[in-house]
Amino acid sequence: MEILLHFGAHKTATTHLQTVLLGSKPAIEKKGIHYWENQEFRENVMREVVVWHRHLTPVFLLKKLFSPGKYTNRTARSIIRRKIEPLQPRYEKLIISEENLLGPTGVLYQDREIYGSAIERLHHIKGLFQDLECSPCLAIRNPATFLPSIYSEALYLHPFRPFKDIYQGRRPEELSWVPLITAINKVFSTRPLTVWTFEDYQKDNRFVIDWLTNQSTDKTDLLQDKIHRQGFSARAIEIITANPPRGLFYKKQQEAIIQIKTRYPITNDSPKFAPFSPETVTKLTERYQKDLEEIDRISGVKRLKIST
């Protein structure tokens, strides 16, 4: 059985993809494909994974203190085994998709590259699957839209930092997806890494769904009209920056952020948050195109593209 492991980079339509897979589960099951539902995987594997010290949360530390034997790598390996073993005789492919495999959104403040600290996680995840071979896949996105989008997502879950602080203040045009793709390709070297772009997925997600499910979703609702999600207005970010919501518990901060976002929606008078000048957008797009060209040349990596 092939295990297809989708490293769902944040803000690359990962949740949308998971929703489509969940909706098409009856159809793909008939074709010998099983989708390990994201919520089940997150609750039974990701929750059990001992994450690295720089990503530990107070809640996790309390659980570790009072339940020292529960949250271990051995537990996660056991859960994976118990899930996969009965599936192997019945299915040809298992699909796993999870946003936080590469790290939480907060890494954009800590790392100097896009998911720059993911290499530790990649080795850790490979170890959890032990001798089970995984075929990795990943969607990437133009940093001109990826950076504002992941920053907006991080506002809900992490103490406020201004946009200029992302990636330790590095110039955005210096950022590249190539180091992350090289790292995934190296750690999961026995299977090809498959890459597609968020931009292509936006245009027509059928080509990705067909590849994932061996073209077994002809009658599936691909939810094409629900790929776009409402972001923050420039005015909302301005208000948050001027008076950042703070609190001991992130839920209170999250509620305050949602209230501001709702009160100052995107309108003609208050456009979507777009921190880059037209010149910077051009530079970022040019760098992104160079990334795509370099990715096409990396041995062991194949890129899915919309059929023309």
Domain count, the chain: 1
Number of residues that make up the chain:
308
pLDDT of residue 48: 61
Global pTM?
0.88
Residue 279 maps to a domain: no
* Sequence-separated (6 or more) residues with CB below 8 Å from residue 201: 12, 13, 17, 139, 208, 227
- Give how far Cα 234 sits from Cα of 73, 115, 164, 173, Å: 43, 26, 15, 21
The runs of H, that is alpha helices, within the chain are: 14-23, 25-30, 38-44, 58-66, 73-84, 107-110, 118-128, 143-157, 178-187, 198-203, 206-213, 234-242, 250-263, 278-297
Residue 165 maps to a domain: yes
pLDDT tier at 130 (50, 70, 90 boundaries)? confident
Residue 278 maps to a domain: no
Residue 248 maps to a domain: no
* Sequence-separated (6 or more) residues with CB below 8 Å from residue 250: 156, 157, 158
pLDDT of residue 290: 97
| Token pair 């001992």 in the structure block, residue | 50
pLDDT of residue 54: 41
| 3-state SS class at 301 | strand
Residue 221 maps to a domain: yes
Residue 265 maps to a domain: no
In one-letter notation, the amino acid at residue 261 is: K
- Identify which has the larger pLDDT, 4 or 52: 4
Residue 200 maps to a domain: yes
Residue 55 maps to a domain: yes
Which of 140, 186, 143 has its CA nearest to residue 305? 140
CATH number at residue 209: 3.40.50
* Sequence-separated (6 or more) residues with CB below 8 Å from residue 90: 32, 34
Do residues 88 and 151 touch, judged by C-beta distance below 8 A? Answer: no
Question: pLDDT tens, 17-59?
Answer: 999 999 888 889 988 999 999 988 988 887 665 444 344 455 5
Q: Write out the residue range of the structural domain in which residue 194 sits.
A: 2-229+289-303
Give the bridge partners for 96, in sequence order. 5, 36
Question: pLDDT tens, 247-304?
Answer: 666 678 889 999 999 999 999 888 999 999 999 999 999 999 999 999 999 999 999 9
